[in-house]
Amino acid sequence: MPSPFPGMDPFLERSEIWPDFHDRLITYICEALQPLLRPQYVALTQDRLFVVENNRPIRPDVSIFETQPPFANSGGTATKVIETVEADPATSILEFQRDEIRQPYIEIIEPASGNQVITAIEILSPDNKTPGAGQKSYRQKQNELWASGANLVEIDLWSAGVRTVLGNSDWVVDDLKRRYLVTVSRAEPIRCEFYGIDLPQRLPRIAVPLKATDKDVTLDLPAVFHRCYDSGPYPQLLYYDKPAPAALNEEEVKFVKQILKE
């Protein structure tokens, strides 16, 4: 069953569904690009790992301890035992648990140059767009890639949170205000290309840069999206009879209702 929407499906923006959709996108983007890259380049799935600390409140238990009885010294007289004063129990306890979060992304490398990373492709996640460890890790990776001279393609199909694409804090571009966004940051010549996407639009076919001396390859994002949707469990999980999890404006709500009615 195909998605009822011409482009991105806002019902996929559910925290329970997103990780599965994200990983499928990564897998099928790799699959789509591989034949276009041969023989000079290959696409590999890599993992970025970061650690977050989760905490939960715990009610303290009652402390139970045993005191020692008096004992006799060498002269036969009893020696008084000094009782150890126990610390009062804490009124609240936060137990911290370190969780290792895995975020897959794609690297296009050139084996002949010692596996040099030519282009990275990222699918942004909620963790990347929310202040915290995930966003910090993502920003660090952005800077490392840019400093190495690699190109960076960022696909942002999660409409909540703050824009986290490379360099956006300094830019005044209308596309940054669109619901969905793809950016292509080229290392040579240095420039950024924007694909702003509103909800009624189909997803773009993206020019993926390689070395400046080589022709771009085209990522057919609509075809990849439909492959993800068709192979996934989404029609049974998205609850189209309920409001979309994404925060929609009035015009978008009308559009969604009309699409689902049809």
How does pLDDT run across 109-158, given as a tens digit for each residue? 999 999 999 999 999 999 999 998 888 889 998 999 999 999 999 999 99
The model's pTM is 0.80
Every domain of the chain and the residues it spans: 10-49+97-261
**What is the C-alpha to C-alpha distance for residues 230 and 221, in angstroms, rounded to an integer?**
14
**What is the C-alpha to C-alpha distance for residues 129 and 160, in angstroms, rounded to an integer?**
8
How does pLDDT run across 172-205, given as a tens digit for each residue? 778 888 999 999 999 998 999 999 999 999 999 9
Which one-letter DSSP state was computed for residue 199? T
Q: What is the DSSP string of 117-175?
A: EEEEEEE--GGGGSTTHHHHHHHHHHHHHHHHT-EEEEEE---SS---STTGGG---GG
Query: Is the backbone peptide bond immediately before 39 cis, with ω within 30 degrees of 0?
Result: yes
How does pLDDT run across 21-31, given as a tens digit for each residue? 999 999 999 99
Share of the chain above pLDDT 90, in %: 63
**What is the C-alpha to C-alpha distance for residues 235 and 186, in angstroms, rounded to an integer?**
37
Strands 151-156 and 93-110 come out as unpaired
pLDDT value at position 126?
A: 92
**Residue with the larger pLDDT of the pair 1 and 220:** 220
**What is the C-alpha to C-alpha distance for residues 90 and 112, in angstroms, rounded to an integer?**
61
Going by pLDDT thresholds of 50, 70 and 90, the confidence category of residue 58 is: very low
Residue 211 predicted with pLDDT over 90:
yes
**What is the C-alpha to C-alpha distance for residues 108 and 117, in angstroms, rounded to an integer?**
6
